[in-house]
Structure 1
């Protein structure tokens, strides 16, 4: 298996600063999108701390147990899942502690959607409403599940999918990293195939560009051009939030 990835972020058309952070680390096989919240200083600080902490913890784990990455166990047996979960939990604690020490950062938090790949094994850690999609053989699958008020209403049958797309509550999330000292991290494991692509993005993209359009761009555009083309689509439709996209190609 080979991995190639490209990531890009943009402030959008309505915001005066960018609170998103992202990581493309092909050497670690680690890819992260974090969408921060909590004021002008807090959101950017939270997302940056999340990315830095997760990368550091995964790197330490690889140095201690390189076989986790070079000779991975079967998907359901690998402890890499717990390495990634622990890394996100550590990020949560670091962000929370940083906020306690600085009133300007009080209440900050961030979404986190992180994927780590080792051979065919892929693990996704997810908190919030940033997303991970799998593009495979002309189809797109949303791997993560939004932790949002609108998604809770949708699952309960209180609103329709169309109402969800246009809800004024669609930016309210029900879970974030760092707002409290601990967080429940959703974990998903899957086996990737050659030709698959992963798309990791914040809601600045998914609120304005639908799944079919993401499929068409991510599946039918060069890896180098895909993130920028998706960002352009979101900006053409108003760009009302920061927009961050990573596209990962499995060769």
Structure 2
């Protein structure tokens, strides 16, 4: 498994996106906080950090239970310590070549396989207004268990600063090139900045 990540503030004064990559444990997390101030930055960082710590607990064995517990703890921590704050969160756990995903918000997880791009997550937003997220009341995370991973699969985790700038068709075209992940990330960043993206943008690329 290979991976590469990037996170840029775009034209915002602060980067309120956050990511964690722990390839050794098969844990990948991405978050995009609501707002663009220091509190938002702390919200996404707190949610990712708590979720990661929860995933590392050895007493929880079942992957999906681990994911739900991680998102619950992240939510509780944000509500308790950062009231009024909210963030998207996508947690990917890879165990035995199987991907398990917990999802809240409008960040996305894609699977690229056999020249086709499939969005595994559903956006929890209407007209760019998020209705489910870490920190928001009554939010219930989606639990996603896609097909067993195969050699050559590419998983992309993106905040909306990426997929609002680069179309699905362009993502498919770029992923079809098969270039090395650092080069792929460089092309994505160039394309996003060429379009003058105002928002923060963050991505994790994982090739099996």
State the TM bucket, normalised to the shorter chain: over 0.9
Q: Which runs of 5+ in 1 are unaligned?
A: 69-78, 101-106, 150-168
Residue in structure 2 matched with residue 217 of structure 1 by the alignment: 174
Conserved in 1, the CA contact under 8 Å of 2:14 and 2:36? no
SS at 2:37's partner residue?
helix
- Give the structure with the larger helix fraction: 1
The range that moved more, 14-23 or 225-234, is 225-234
Q: Which runs of 5+ in 2 are unaligned?
A: none
Divergent runs of 4+, >6 A = none
> So what's the TM-score if we normalise by structure 1?
0.78
Tell whether 2:25 aligns with 1:28. Answer: yes
Q: Which of 127, 130, 140 lines up with 1:173 in the alignment?
A: 130
The range that moved more, 200-209 or 210-219, is 210-219
SS at 1:111's partner residue?
strand
Q: Which of 19, 32, 37 lines up with 2:34 in the alignment?
A: 37
Residue in structure 2 matched with residue 160 of structure 1 by the alignment: none
The offset of 1:39, in angstroms, is 4.8
In the alignment of these two chains, the number of paired residues is 206
> So what's the TM-score if we normalise by structure 2?
0.94
Q: Which of 183, 186, 190 lines up with 1:228 in the alignment?
A: 186
Residue in structure 1 matched with residue 59 of structure 2 by the alignment: 64
Separation in 1, partners of 2:82, 2:36: 12
Q: Considering only aligned residues, what root-mean-square deviation do their CA atoms show, in Å? A: 1.4
Separation in 1, partners of 2:52, 2:33: 17
